[in-house]
C-alpha cells in the first residue's frame, strides 16, 4: 500500500508530467508557425514522452493500491522570443523536473519506501538524458547563431525523431 505522503507527491508529479506534455505541444505549435516543422516534430515526440512519464506514474500508483487524482493543468506559455529561447526554456523546465523527481526520491528515502525508490531510479536516469538532450540542442543553436542554413539543417535532422517507448514497458 502506498503511503499517503508519497501518493500525494506522485499525484503532483503526474500533473507536472502532463503539464510538460502541454508545454512541449505549445512549443511545437510555435515552431510550426516559424516554418520549422522538423523541430515541431521533435517537440511533438517530446510531448509523447511526457505523456508516457505521466502514465508510468499513473500505473504505478494503481499497482501499489493507491489512488490517482488528476488536477487542472496550467496553461503553458504560447509565445517565445526565438527558437533558442524555446530550447533554453525546455532545458530550464527539465532542470525543474529533475529537482522535483529528486524531491520524490527524498520522500521515498525518508519513509523507507524501497519499492518507490527502485521505481524512481528510472526517472532519475531519464532526467539525465532529458537535460543532456536539451543542453546539446541549446549548444548547437548557439553555435549556428540564428543562421538560416544551420537552422534548416537542424530542422531536417530533428524531423527524424520518433517516439519509441522503452522495450520493457
Q: Which of 28, 45, 51, 53 binds ligand OFO (CB under 6 A)?
A: 53
Q: Which of 50, 88, 113, 155 binds ligand OFO (CB under 6 A)?
A: 50
Q: Which of 14, 56, 94, 113 binds ligand OFO (CB under 6 A)?
A: 94
The region that residue 167 occupies, defined by phi over 0 for left and psi between -120 and 50 for alpha, beta otherwise, is alpha
| CB-based contacts of 64, cutoff 8 Å, min separation 6 | 1, 2, 115, 116
- Taking the complex as a whole, the smallest distance from the CB of residue 101 to ligand OFO amounts, in Å, to 8
Residue 104, phi then psi, degrees to nearest 5: -60, -45
Q: Which of 130, 137, 151, 155 binds ligand OFO (CB under 6 A)?
A: 130
Tell me the C-alpha distance between 138 and 66, whole Å: 39
Tell me the C-alpha distance between 73 and 69, whole Å: 12
Q: Which of 20, 26, 41, 116 binds ligand OFO (CB under 6 A)?
A: 20
Q: How many residues belong to the site for ligand OFO (CB under 6 A)?
A: 7
C-alpha cell at 16: 507536472
17 binds ligand OFO (CB under 6 A): yes
Q: Which of 6, 97, 120, 154 binds ligand OFO (CB under 6 A)?
A: 97
Give the number of other Cβ atoms within 10 Å of residue 159's Cβ. 14
Judged by CB, which is closer to ligand OFO: 50, or 113? 50
Judged by CB, which is closer to ligand OFO: 130, or 155? 130
For cell 522538423, the residue is 38
Judged by CB, which is closer to ligand OFO: 89, or 151? 89
Tell me the C-alpha distance between 14 and 168, whole Å: 21
Q: Which residues bind ligand OFO (CB under 6 A)?
A: 17, 20, 50, 53, 94, 97, 130
Amino acid at each position: 500500500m502506498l503511503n499517503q505522503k508519497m501518493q500525494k507527491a506522485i499525484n503532483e508529479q503526474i500533473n507536472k508530467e502532463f503539464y510538460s506534455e502541454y508545454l512541449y505541444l505549445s512549443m511545437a505549435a510555435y515552431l510550426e508557425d516559424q516554418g520549422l516543422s522538423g523541430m515541431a516534430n521533435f517537440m511533438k515526440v517530446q510531448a509523447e514522452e511526457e505523456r508516457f512519464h505521466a502514465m508510468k506514474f499513473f500505473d504505478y500508483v494503481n499497482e501499489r493500491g493507491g489512488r490517482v487524482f488528476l488536477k487542472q493543468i496550467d496553461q503553458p506559455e504560447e509565445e517565445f522570443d526565438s527558437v533558442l529561447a524555446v530550447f533554453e526554456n525546455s532545458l530550464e523546465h527539465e532542470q525543474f523536473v529533475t529537482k522535483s523527481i529528486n524531491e520524490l526520491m527524498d520522500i521515498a528515502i525518508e519513509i523507507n519506501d524501497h519499492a518507490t525508490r527502485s521505481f524512481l531510479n528510472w526517472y532519475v536516469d531519464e532526467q539525465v538524458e532529458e537535460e543532456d538532450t536539451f543542453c546539446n540542442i541549446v549548444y548547437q543553436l548557439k553555435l549556428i547563431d540564428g543562421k538560416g542554413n544551420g537552422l534548416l539543417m537542424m530542422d531536417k535532422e530533428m524531423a527524424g525523431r520518433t517516439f519509441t517507448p522503452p522495450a520493457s514497458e
